[in-house]
Amino acid sequence: MKQQEFDRILMDDLAAIPPAEHIVAAANPLDASITKILWGMVLTFFKLNFFYLNHILPLLGSVLLYLGYRSLRKENQWFKLCWLISGVLLLWHAVFDVLAATPVLAQLSRPALNWPLSALSSAAHFTLLFFLRAGLHTAFASTGEKLPRDWLKAGIIAEALVYAIAVWCDLVPLTEVD
């Protein structure tokens, strides 16, 4: 149930205060924010190198991350930290998309700078995942609700495996004898 539907039902049934239990249970204030955050993570993680999607999708994902965490920033300190990190990532993607149109990006794409910048970006994404997990644990603990299945732990492991495979594929050609 979307927030607008919940508000409409509340306005329609104002005479019956409090609303029925099934209506209150169906409204989840975290739903819209978490949906934005998950879509943002997907769009920033996968890079498609055609039609300039390698620039557009991560920037759009960063915007979704920022907006998702912005609405959750007052819930607890973990979400506030995620909001700050997502703001830095949004600025990061915006600056690099502007630099992509200039010759400056060719200088930044040299291997000496590419590795540290990639490592910094990867560390920011891992930090967002860890803080999102901690924020969700804190949010559920503060309400006294049972924490649903922890999918973020599997996501962190999967992202670590993908990064390990990417690093391995980058380093294998260096060990081949010509």
Q: Which two tokens stand for residue 21?
A: 């239990």
Helix (H, G, I), strand (E, B) or coil at 163: helix
Q: Which two tokens stand for residue 18?
A: 């409090």
Specify whether the CB–CB gap between 82 and 139 falls below 8 A.
Answer: no
Measured CA to CA, the distance from residue 108 to residue 105 in angstroms comes to 5
Radius of gyration of the chain (CA): 20
What are the two backbone dihedrals, phi and then psi, of residue 19, each rounded to the nearest 5 degrees? -70, 170
Helix (H, G, I), strand (E, B) or coil at 121: helix
The predicted structure's pLDDT at residue 13: 67
How much of the chain is in helix, strand and coil states, percent to nearest 5? Answer: 75, 0, 25
pLDDT tens digit at each of 178 positions of the chain: 677 787 777 777 665 566 666 666 566 667 788 889 999 998 988 778 888 888 889 999 999 999 999 999 998 999 999 999 999 999 998 998 888 888 887 777 777 777 788 888 889 989 999 999 999 889 888 878 777 788 888 888 988 898 888 888 877 776 676 6
The predicted structure's pLDDT at residue 105: 75
The predicted structure's pLDDT at residue 142: 85
The predicted structure's pLDDT at residue 15: 58
